[in-house]
Structure 1
């Protein structure tokens, strides 16, 4: 067997596409919108390693990326999957057919150890570990094995074993440095946040050590050889370098495996042209039904040749560490991370306050604006102005939670009583009509809703108990909802069809079905009718839920006491918006040299510069303009191609120095269809010096000139733009998750 090389599960093309097509239906149903950004950066040929993070949705992340890369780059991915998941019957069966590579993880083999452990001299000998009632010479304990501590504050710290010296003494490869870990192993509290001892206490007589878990060393040689072989043949390997799924707001430390795979491949075949493509998985409520996602691809990373040479010469630790830093930087550039959940909520609130005109931003621009605000917050977080602003935003968010409304619904405070009553009556009537269309499908699909909610919550608790990094276990909920629905829904439809057929056989559905209709046709009708009813209920109910969420602020506006609260909250919001805008305009140029040139949202408080708003080409609704309506159209020097039109600003190069990616519909990609006119329109010939810089410069110049013409027309009063009223259900639906 060794002479033949490692076994590589074959990637069966037709089975890969069949599995992808089957699950794509569920992806379309579960997500309201999946938007790829920067997919043009994915190499169409040659070996690539796709590194994706954060891994917030267990198996769903893989399916979403498989679909995006298959439709956008026409490539198939061989995923590295945990051997624990590979051993599951259904998952393992599918994984073998689509060419996944199983990887054994130490964290999956952790077992509770006997006795307790402690650090006898954490200052002078931080790697020396001793036990009480332990047997380190037993089977689980070996060189390169793993010692893990109990979870504290959502994190379990671990390290590898360097040497076993006896039944109650061993040496660690790396010392524990985190404060929580040192407190667990020493019982001392005189430790600062950096893991440094601040006192002189050398012993705690009452300390008895801490419980621990141990896992044997896992030999990954066969896995690496399989990856080298697949990449050497020009394949595409996908990996989540954090090691496992989680629901944190920050990236976990990257595992060394991805760097070893890249360096090992180039060490064996230096001319293979391997590239590493970072991919950011940006979800809006990842575990919730009908949520949204932006999948962003970064610039492919070329592994520096000097790191490959360093790797060949045996300096693996240095070369692997350097490459991991490069990969981490690539992932940070395409993800939105924050120190904690409250900070993320503050950042998102600041983004909404900065966009005071309520203009709907495309999802990629929402992600980009969040990313810039996070970067700015990290840089200025200790500034007194930012500290005060954060405190004010937290207070504002608390007021919203107390009232049970969202930020964009505060605008109802300016409506008159007549407007509120008329809007409330209209929406209640519309909701009643929608309920009639939703009720049959809702009743049919209720068993699936109940089963998925109950079982996914149960699996979430199990995953949380078994994990050392999860906070609430939400990262497995979407996966289990899809798997349960995939198994239960067809069985439920089969039951409904059988009952419908039997009813027809028994009394022809109370005489409503003619005798000449054969029973086999009733079976066919049932197989089509019941899924159609539930799907229609899903789409109709989605609109109904948006209306239901908009009713509470209307009711509050009719209550005199809460109406006054809304008015005060609206005034507070206006003051906060001014404060946020001033802070961004003051500090932004310090962090971003091209701040004014690369704005995503124009300054809403600069009345001297009147820049038009872009019309929202969302779902058709009854339009109620808050400004004015005009039949005049904006003139342009040259019509934009359909995929570059104003209904999707994410695809216009004005917002980025990189070429735009292909447009997508809300649930599927239209790229690649013959005759769909989804190609980029040529601008002009490129110079050989720096094509991307040349394109970016010309686009900026063209857009600047066009903006000047529009401002002149605006000042002359030659045209005006209409916008959706802030109170319409369509505008609320478009903004509720943003």
Structure 2
């Protein structure tokens, strides 16, 4: 019997892919309340595409969401680069392999403790030299291209690549360890800055601290990724799509991790081996709002396509690898920054979100893409002006306001209840309480039935988070694995729970007709089929009604505080403080915004709520009947431009998630540009038969009176030309023709035929 042929790396069966994606899309839709794609029109419909995604905030959920969005928007299937460690998991690995995933080995997944300790003998003059105590660097575990990994401090572990092995106790690094923490670990000294620079410079002491023997360490091997690169090149050369998360692994940090060189090597290698492949790199921002929480929201933003310069690929192939890779990585990093919201730390991110809420004092509900764009611009402004005295003082005031509402036990959007009178709050409280009780009728049965699944998934996901945190060098709280394991556990436990209920009710019916609640004579097959349909329906109803019930329940607390005279007064003070703070934030943004963004006024995300100038009243538009009365011939013979908001506008070219009436239609937020209306003008001809043409309306700037004047003028000139033609016919009948008039007659006849 002939041996079974081994499948190629990244082999994809499109039917299995679609079935897998449909199954998990149901779970994604249940877990997330909203997933909004933005900029999906930028994804090419054909040709090789390399999706570069960041931040990697949801371990196995990120690829699922990306695959779902791309399949729905462009009908394209993606080969996702997946960690080899994940591919070895039984369930996850099987599903990933069936969907065409490409396994990638990671050196950090294969780190192991090494014997002995290491230190820097001359950290000031030669930080590349590492010396060991009780080590054997000539063992097989150590190799050029591998890495030395230091112990984690604050969940961060420094590492450096090995350049040369000089002996059993001496190694030379390719680049030195970075950061003050790493220098303290390797020298036992504390006379350096946070960046690892010694305070006294070259005059500092040379060796480690007296009596310091070094630090324990781990060794990471060098991996050969040739097969992976070849598989990626093959897929892209065939016009396929690849998705990669260049940070290397999932994390829950607020900033982007350093990008791995693999994404640059793949893109440069693809173009170098086939310069005419027309490879497009699409940066993708995975922007979540509480990514690990159930029924959260996400915005998947696609950036502008990045093309790989052929000259850069040729330099890469010619041996200038380091320069070419560095330049390509910087280009990709800039593309990712344009579609992600990154902050230096968690406190800064919380500050920016608080400012964003205060910058919208009217309480207008913004679409998710606008929220993401506003956060991004606020972070850019904060990073530029964070040392400005106005920003420093404003930061203190915002943090103080947050502390005040936290002490009151309310959220920022609930402070608005202070505007409502106590009597109104009293009746509103009882109205919502009754509404909550009615919703509970639909929520409680499903909650009791599915509660075991919720508890099990939450417990197991936290357990996996602790395990991932212990194994990772970059995670803060390992929240990036929570959503993944909640979904996986729910997939496994939910069918078991439903099966248990079906068996239990069927047995009770056989034993005592479910305590006499069900009549005799029911066939068990129909009873089982009814349960199979009822249980998921009850659970889904509990989910949908539970969302509304939870929102109502959260609103009861502030209403109670408003009815209470003491706490109501505190809420009123918080509301007054909020209004002053919002006005102050708006003034600062209006002052500094134009200095940073050239399009601040023309494309501002939120209109100034404190402006006193009333909106301009648009001129009255003339009706079709008015135009018919003024025109010398029926207006149906002309192509009048349709207004974007008129019923005759062409909306078929719009994306399914958008409309012209949506706030997200602004050109910096819309997912695709509007389709221009095509006007079919008459074919131009010479002589008297040539029709007039209207000038572009864009120069009129919305003045419809000017439009009307130009139309009348065009009609009038056309009437004069027709009068001259009629006079010419009279002259022709009398025989008074000239060579010029005969030529004009030929042109007129031709014009009429063409028309």
Contact 2:158 2:178 in 1 (8 A): no
**Residue of structure 2 in register with 1:182 after alignment:** 183
Contact 1:24 1:67 in 2 (8 A): yes
**Residue of structure 2 in register with 1:547 after alignment:** 552
- How far, CA to CA, are the matches of 2:447 and 2:701 in structure 1? 48
1:484-503 equivalences under 5 Å are: 484-503=489-508
Contact 2:272 2:310 in 1 (8 A): no
More displaced 10-residue stretch of structure 1: 336-345 or 150-159: 150-159
**Residue of structure 2 in register with 1:133 after alignment:** 134
Deviation sequence 1:511-547 (CA, Å, 0-9, x none): 4434332111111111111111011011011100001
**Residue of structure 2 in register with 1:34 after alignment:** 35
**Residue of structure 2 in register with 1:714 after alignment:** none
Return the offset for 1:165. Answer: 1.4
- How far, CA to CA, are the matches of 1:166 and 1:135 in structure 2? 8
**Residue of structure 1 in register with 2:693 after alignment:** none
- How far, CA to CA, are the matches of 1:703 and 1:523 in structure 2? 68
More displaced 10-residue stretch of structure 1: 545-554 or 203-212: 203-212
Tell me, yes or no, if structure 1 residue 648 matches structure 2 residue 667: no
Deviation sequence 1:94-140 (CA, Å, 0-9, x none): 11111111111000001112221111111211110011122212221
2:677 aligned to which of 674, 683, 686: 683
- How far, CA to CA, are the matches of 2:224 and 2:505 in structure 1? 56
Contact 2:37 2:671 in 1 (8 A): no
**SS of alignment partner, residue 247 of structure 2:** coil
Tell me, yes or no, if structure 1 residue 201 matches structure 2 residue 205: yes
Return the offset for 1:559. Answer: 2.4
Deviation sequence 1:71-110 (CA, Å, 0-9, x none): 1011111011111000011111111111111111000001
Return the offset for 1:681. Answer: 5.1
Return the offset for 1:5. Answer: 12
**Residue of structure 2 in register with 1:628 after alignment:** none
Contact 2:442 2:542 in 1 (8 A): yes
Asked which structure has the greater RCO (Cα within 8 Å, sep 6+), the reply is: 1
- How far, CA to CA, are the matches of 1:701 and 1:248 in structure 2? 49
Deviation sequence 1:200-248 (CA, Å, 0-9, x none): 2333103221121111111111111111111111110110000000000
Return the offset for 1:660. Answer: 3.5
- How far, CA to CA, are the matches of 2:401 and 2:551 in structure 1? 23
User: Structure 1 498/661 Cα, relative in aligned 2: closer, same or farther at 3 Å?
Assistant: farther
Contact 1:6 1:226 in 2 (8 A): no
User: Structure 1 58/138 Cα, relative in aligned 2: closer, same or farther at 3 Å?
Assistant: same
Tell me, yes or no, if structure 1 residue 418 matches structure 2 residue 412: no
Contact 1:46 1:273 in 2 (8 A): yes
Segments of structure 2 that go 5 or more residues without pairing to the other structure are 618-642, 681-695, 708-755
Return the offset for 1:685. Answer: 6.9
Return the offset for 1:501. Answer: 1.4
Contact 1:50 1:239 in 2 (8 A): yes
Contact 1:464 1:470 in 2 (8 A): yes
Question: After TM superposition, which residue ranges in structure 1, 4 or more long, deviate above 6 angstroms?
Answer: 698-706
**Residue of structure 1 in register with 2:738 after alignment:** none
**Residue of structure 2 in register with 1:531 after alignment:** 536
**Residue of structure 1 in register with 2:671 after alignment:** 660
TM-score (norm 1): 0.85
Deviation sequence 1:667-706 (CA, Å, 0-9, x none): xxxxxxxxxxxxx6543579xxxxxxxxxxx999899779
**SS of alignment partner, residue 271 of structure 1:** helix
Contact 2:118 2:216 in 1 (8 A): yes
Contact 1:600 1:655 in 2 (8 A): no
Contact 1:278 1:297 in 2 (8 A): yes
User: Structure 1 547/702 Cα, relative in aligned 2: closer, same or farther at 3 Å?
Assistant: farther
- How far, CA to CA, are the matches of 1:597 and 1:699 in structure 2? 19
- How far, CA to CA, are the matches of 2:522 and 2:70 in structure 1? 46
- How far, CA to CA, are the matches of 1:444 and 1:701 in structure 2? 65
- How far, CA to CA, are the matches of 1:330 and 1:444 in structure 2? 46
**SS of alignment partner, residue 299 of structure 2:** strand
- How far, CA to CA, are the matches of 1:369 and 1:702 in structure 2? 32
Tell me, yes or no, if structure 1 residue 389 matches structure 2 residue 390: no
For these two proteins, the number of residue pairs brought into alignment is 653
TM-score (norm 2): 0.83
- How far, CA to CA, are the matches of 1:133 and 1:455 in structure 2? 41
**Residue of structure 2 in register with 1:604 after alignment:** 609
**SS of alignment partner, residue 165 of structure 2:** strand
- How far, CA to CA, are the matches of 1:129 and 1:647 in structure 2? 64
1:365 aligned to which of 356, 367, 370: 370
Return the offset for 1:189. Answer: 1.7
- How far, CA to CA, are the matches of 1:705 and 1:274 in structure 2? 45
Tell me, yes or no, if structure 1 residue 343 matches structure 2 residue 348: yes
- How far, CA to CA, are the matches of 2:472 and 2:698 in structure 1? 48
**Residue of structure 2 in register with 1:718 after alignment:** none
Contact 2:38 2:670 in 1 (8 A): no
Return the offset for 1:180. Answer: 1.6
Deviation sequence 1:332-386 (CA, Å, 0-9, x none): 0000001111111111111111111111110001101111111111111111111
Deviation sequence 1:231-266 (CA, Å, 0-9, x none): 111110110000000000000000000000000111
Contact 1:6 1:222 in 2 (8 A): no
User: Structure 1 637/526 Cα, relative in aligned 2: closer, same or farther at 3 Å?
Assistant: closer
- How far, CA to CA, are the matches of 1:275 and 1:175 in structure 2? 35
**Residue of structure 1 in register with 2:562 after alignment:** 557
**Residue of structure 1 in register with 2:250 after alignment:** 245
Contact 2:55 2:247 in 1 (8 A): yes
Higher gyration radius (CA): 2
- How far, CA to CA, are the matches of 1:282 and 1:154 in structure 2? 23
1:250-261 equivalences under 5 Å are: 250-261=255-266
Deviation sequence 1:647-682 (CA, Å, 0-9, x none): 6322x1x342x86349xxxxxxxxxxxxxxxxx654
**Residue of structure 1 in register with 2:714 after alignment:** none
- How far, CA to CA, are the matches of 2:170 and 2:548 in structure 1? 64
**CA RMSD between the two structures:** 2.4
Tell me, yes or no, if structure 1 residue 147 matches structure 2 residue 148: yes
- How far, CA to CA, are the matches of 1:67 and 1:13 in structure 2? 14
